[in-house]
A = this chain, B = another copy of it.
C-alpha cells in the first residue's frame, strides 16, 4: 500500500497535454489558451483623452492664459481635429484621440463656460498642474508586439476582454477532456426505476458527471451490472476513445470485485492499488499505453467523492495546464481532533471565513463512508497527515474543497 502523497504523484505523472481546437471568443471563458497573444498595436493606440472637458496646449496655460475660445468639438470616435491656434481649445470627450497641437486636458469640473459674441469660451477655474494632465498616453500600458497572454493561461473575463481588444475573435484552446463514467454493481438501478428493498439507485455516476462538468470536462455515462462479459467487450472501446475512465465500485476484496484483474487483462497497467487513507482506500489506478488512464474508485459514495477531488480533479487540471502550479489551499482546524490509525484521514469539514480572512474548518460527523447526505453540510475535506494522530485546533492542514 502506498501513501496519499505517492499516489497523487503517480496520478499526476500520467497527465498528458491536450490537442488544440479553435473556438469563437464568445465560448472561450474557462478554457485554456494554446497560443500566445501579442498586442497588435500600442495600448492605448493613441493619446487617449481620459476626462470630458477641453484639450489645449499647456504652453498657453504656462504663459498665463485662462480663457480659451472653443475652436472645435470632438467626440470619441471622431478623427482628431488639429488645433492650429494654440490660443484656442477643442472641447473633447473621454475616449477621443488627443488632437495634434494639444497635449493636456482640463476636465469639465475645473471649467466654466460662457459666450462671447456667439463664441463659446471656456474659463479655467483650476489650472492643470502639468503638461499631459488627463491624457492616457499612447503605448503607456503596452507597446505593439508585447506579449499580452502567454500560451497556457486560463481565460477568465479579463483575458477575454484583452483578446477582444486585439481582435482575436477566434482562439486556439486546449480541447476539453473526455471522460467515460462507468458504474458497475448489480445492486444499482436506474433513477426512473423503483428499487426493490435490497436495491438502491445509481448516484455515484451522477455525482461524478456533475463534478466533471464543474471541472470543465465532457463526460458520458455507461452502466454495466456485474456482467463481466459485457464489460470485457465494451471497455476496450472506451479505453481507446476517452482520455480517462472513472469507474466506481468493483475494486475492493469481494467476490464481485473483478475489475483490477480484468483491466490488466485488457492492457491497462496497474500503477497502484490501495492507498493508506480513509475513506477511499481500495482505489485502483492504471494507464493503457496510448489510451486512457483508469481511475477505479471504491463504490461507497463518500469514498468516490474523496478520491474524485483528491486525484481526478487535480489530474484534469494538470492535463489542461501542465505548467501551472495549482494553488494549495489550507484551512485551520477549528477544534482538536484525534484519529488513531497511521493513515491519511480525509476529515469532512464545514468552512467558515474567520475575521482575518483565513478559513476555519469545523469537523462534521458523518455516518460511515456510505452517508452521502451528510456531505450536504460539508464544504470539503481537511487532509490530516498519516504521521500524526492528534490534531490541534488552530493548526493549518491542506484543504480539499468541493464547494
Contacts and interface: CB of A to CB of B under 8 A. Distances in A.
Quick one: which of A91, A162, A252, A373 has the most chain B CB within 10 A? Answer: A373
A209 interface: yes
A46 interface: yes
A363 interface: no
Contact of A96 (B29, B187, B202): B187
Given A162-B376, A403-B156, A77 B185 contact: yes
Interface in A13-47: 25-26, 28-30, 39, 43-46
A233 B185 CA distance: 61
A226 interface: yes
A374 to B, nearest CB: 7
Contacts of A186: 75-78
A124 to B, nearest CB: 17
Interface in A192-220: 192-211, 213-214
Contacts of A353: 327-330
B374 A206 contact: no
A254 interface: yes
Contacts of A267: none
Contact of A95 (B187, B214, B358): B187
The oligomer's copy count stands at: 2
Given A50-B368, A75-B255, A357 B399 contact: yes
Contacts of A337: none
Contacts of A214: 29-30, 156-157
Given A214-B30, A329-B357, A141 B367 contact: yes
Contact of A207 (B161, B252, B330): B161
A108 interface: yes
A206 B252 contact: no
B108 A253 contact: yes
A131 interface: no
A287 interface: no
Given A29-B210, A77-B199, A198-B80, A165 B372 contact: yes
A97 B50 CA distance: 73
Interface in A114-166: 136, 140-142, 148-149, 153, 155-166
A103 interface: no
A199 B354 CA distance: 47
Nearest to A135: B368
Given A214-B29, A358-B356, A373-B142, A195 B45 contact: yes
A46 B198 contact: yes
A207 B158 contact: yes
Q: Which 4 A-B pairs have the closest CB atoms?
A: A77-B186, A77-B187, A358-B358, A161-B207
13 contacts: A29-B214, A75-B226, A77-B186, A77-B198, A91-B255, A93-B257, A108-B254, A141-B370, A142-B373, A158-B402, A160-B210, A332-B357, A358-B359
Given A77-B226, A136-B367, 11 more contacts: A25-B191, A46-B198, A73-B255, A77-B199, A78-B198, A148-B376, A161-B204, A162-B372, A162-B373, A164-B205, A332-B357
